């Protein structure tokens, strides 16, 4: 701990003592008229004095005094209670690399307290199919080295109910998971790329709301592959939607949206990197404002909703001699991270099997692309005029440049 952090903590102690004296002498909940004033003065939960002590302990003198003063200035007499804790307890659900920076940002922000992490169970991987931990589980162990065994959960079944909707049944594992989650008393659960449907009984547990981070501008592209679908459709704009979850996939009320442009050369890989870069700060700011009731909820317009499912294997197969450059480039951008687009090349020998050729890299001249967008990638032995650079990998061979590939395979 640095000198200034220690000083910040030390300076907060006298203020905490003064507040405690006030609590047990002059507070409307403690002194003589408390039988009449109790519950009528402060509309917040916890009360301003308790909240002030909590923020001074958590943030230190300077930030704590700011938060305490802000609370007191906004305090009004009301019988309607407004839940407003010093920090929000978060249970984080994710199973994909995109979730890592969001978890890191929540762990480092004192306005939040991550009280649990939920991810998918260990799975076999690699040449020898050895059991491997999920990337979120690995990151959680680094960030929360002090955590107990109950901190990280990897349930295979989430549903605690019997019977459940649509003919599904609950499970003992689901019941135990729900009980563990309730014990943590989360204010919010935050979900990004978790990979499992979360039942309504679990979504009802947090005090404030279950929150989802969706990689598109809802209600556009609800479903499993919004980022890839955005590029397949050659959209010029996308973004991140923070929404309140309900039992149906991606239909909940929207809380906030972050929009940004998609440059011509950007692929899924760069798009995900951009979301991982700007998304965590946006999420934390949105959660804080939503918890403070500075942001409301906006219902989605159902008539504008579009859907995208899981990407099928046939989606990344192309025909470079008949498919337009637009179709090929959109697919290249959408599947550049994995599995990458490919085409089949007929072998010279009639008895041989077709050769699978993966397009590893494709760079185009935008003006030439726009003026020849219906021309195929290959026209005879010639490449599309907009191609600046292309790298191809025939099955079982090393990656080749355009010249090497044309010389060896397009004679």
**Domain end point (choices 308, 331, 349):** 308
Question: Which CATH number goes with the domain that contains 293?
Answer: 3.40.50.170
Q: Are residues 280 and 168 in the same domain?
A: yes
Q: Which of 47, 119, 43, 51 is nearest to 81 (CA)?
A: 43
Query: pLDDT tens digits for 296-341?
Result: 999 999 999 999 988 887 888 999 989 999 999 999 999 998 889 9
Q: Are residues 142 and 264 in the same domain?
A: yes
**What DSSP string describes 134-161?**
-HHHHHHHHHTTT--TTSEE--S-----
Helix (H) / strand (E) element for 230: namely helix 226-232
Q: Are residues 318 and 302 in the same domain?
A: no
Whole-number Å distance between alpha carbons of 87 and 208: 13
**Residue carrying structure tokens 């990280």:** 152
According to the model, what pLDDT value does residue 68 have?
83
Name the residue range of residue 253's domain: 88-123+131-308
Q: Are residues 317 and 304 in the same domain?
A: no
- What tokens appear for 331 in the block? 């697919």
Q: Are residues 97 and 203 in the same domain?
A: yes
Q: How many percent of the chain have pLDDT more than 70?
A: 88
Q: Are residues 338 and 295 in the same domain?
A: no
According to the model, what pLDDT value does residue 380 have?
76
Question: Span 190-208, mean pLDDT?
Answer: 93
The answer to which of 160-174, 227-241, 273-287 has the lowest mean pLDDT is 160-174
**Domain end point (choices 292, 308, 324):** 308
**Residue carrying structure tokens 């726009």:** 370
**Domain end point (choices 308, 342, 370):** 308
Q: Which of 216, 222, 212 is nearest to 235 (CA)?
A: 216
Whole-number Å distance between alpha carbons of 159 and 164: 8
Q: Are residues 26 and 67 in the same domain?
A: yes
Cβ count near 315 (within 10 Å): 16
Q: Are residues 203 and 280 in the same domain?
A: yes
Q: State how many domains the chain has.
A: 3
Query: pLDDT tens digits for 137-173?
Result: 999 999 998 777 789 999 988 888 755 455 555 678 8
Beta strands 378-379 and 382-383 are: antiparallel
DSSP at 380 = T
Whole-number Å distance between alpha carbons of 241 and 213: 6
Band (pLDDT 50/70/90 cuts) for residue 367 is very high
Question: Which CATH number goes with the domain that contains 345?
Answer: 3.10.25
Q: Are residues 64 and 95 in the same domain?
A: no
Q: Are residues 272 and 178 in the same domain?
A: yes
Sign of CA dihedral 229, 235, 240, 243: negative
Whether 34 shows a pLDDT value over 60: the answer reads no
According to the model, what pLDDT value does residue 275 have?
96
Query: pLDDT tens digits for 76-102?
Result: 666 566 788 889 999 999 999 999 999
According to the model, what pLDDT value does residue 170 have?
60
For residues 248 and 313, the model is more confident at 248
According to the model, what pLDDT value does residue 117 have?
96
According to the model, what pLDDT value does residue 124 have?
73
Q: Are residues 106 and 243 in the same domain?
A: yes
According to the model, what pLDDT value does residue 56 have?
84
According to the model, what pLDDT value does residue 35 have?
54
Q: Are residues 322 and 299 in the same domain?
A: no
According to the model, what pLDDT value does residue 29 have?
61
Whether 44 shows a pLDDT value over 90: the answer reads no
**What DSSP string describes 355-374?**
EEEEEEEEEE-HHHHHHTTT
């Amino acid at each position: 701990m640095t000198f200034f952090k220690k000083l910040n903590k030390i300076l907060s102690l006298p203020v905490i003592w003064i507040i405690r004296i006030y609590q047990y002498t002059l507070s409307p909940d403690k002194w003589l008229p408390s039988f009449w004033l109790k519950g009528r003065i402060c509309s917040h939960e916890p009360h301003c004095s308790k909240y002030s002590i909590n923020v001074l302990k958590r943030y230190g003198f300077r930030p704590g005094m700011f938060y305490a003063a802000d609370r007191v200035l906004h305090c009004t007499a009301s019988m309607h209670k407004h839940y407003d804790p010093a920090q929000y307890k978060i249970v984080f659900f994710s199973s994909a690399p995109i979730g890592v920076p969001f978890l890191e940002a929540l762990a480092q922000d004192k306005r939040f307290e991550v009280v649990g992490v939920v991810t998918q169970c260990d799975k076999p991987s690699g040449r020898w199919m050895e059991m491997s931990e999920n990337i979120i589980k690995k990151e959680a162990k680094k960030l929360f080295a002090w955590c107990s065994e109950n901190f990280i959960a990897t349930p295979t079944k989430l549903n605690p109910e019997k019977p459940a909707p649509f003919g599904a049944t609950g499970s003992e594992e689901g019941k135990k998971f729900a009980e563990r989650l309730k014990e943590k008393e989360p204010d919010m659960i935050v979900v990004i790329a978790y990979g499992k449907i979360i039942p309504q009984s679990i979504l009802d547990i947090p005090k404030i709301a279950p929150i989802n981070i969706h990689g598109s501008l809802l209600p556009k592209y609800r479903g499993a592959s919004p980022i890839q679908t955005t590029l397949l459709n050659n959209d010029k704009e996308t973004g991140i939607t923070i929404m309140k979850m309900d039992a149906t996939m991606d239909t909940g009320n929207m809380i906030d949206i972050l929009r940004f442009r998609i440059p011509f050369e950007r692929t899924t890989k760069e798009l995900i990197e951009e979301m991982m870069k700007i998304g965590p700060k946006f999420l934390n700011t949105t959660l804080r404002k939503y918890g403070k009731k500075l942001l409301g909820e906006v219902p989605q317009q159902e008539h504008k909703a579009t859907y995208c499912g899981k990407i099928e294997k046939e989606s990344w197969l192309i025909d470079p001699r008949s498919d337009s450059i637009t179709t090929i480039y959109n697919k290249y951008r959408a599947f550049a991270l994995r599995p990458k687009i490919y085409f089949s090349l007929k072998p010279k020998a009639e008895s041989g099997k077709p050769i699978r050729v993966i397009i590893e890299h494709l760079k185009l001249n935008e003006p030439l692309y726009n003026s020849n967008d219906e021309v195929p990638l290959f026209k005879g032995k010639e490449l599309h005029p907009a191609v600046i650079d292309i790298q191809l990998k025939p099955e079982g061979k090393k990656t080749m440049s355009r010249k090497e590939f044309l010389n060896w395979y397009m004679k």
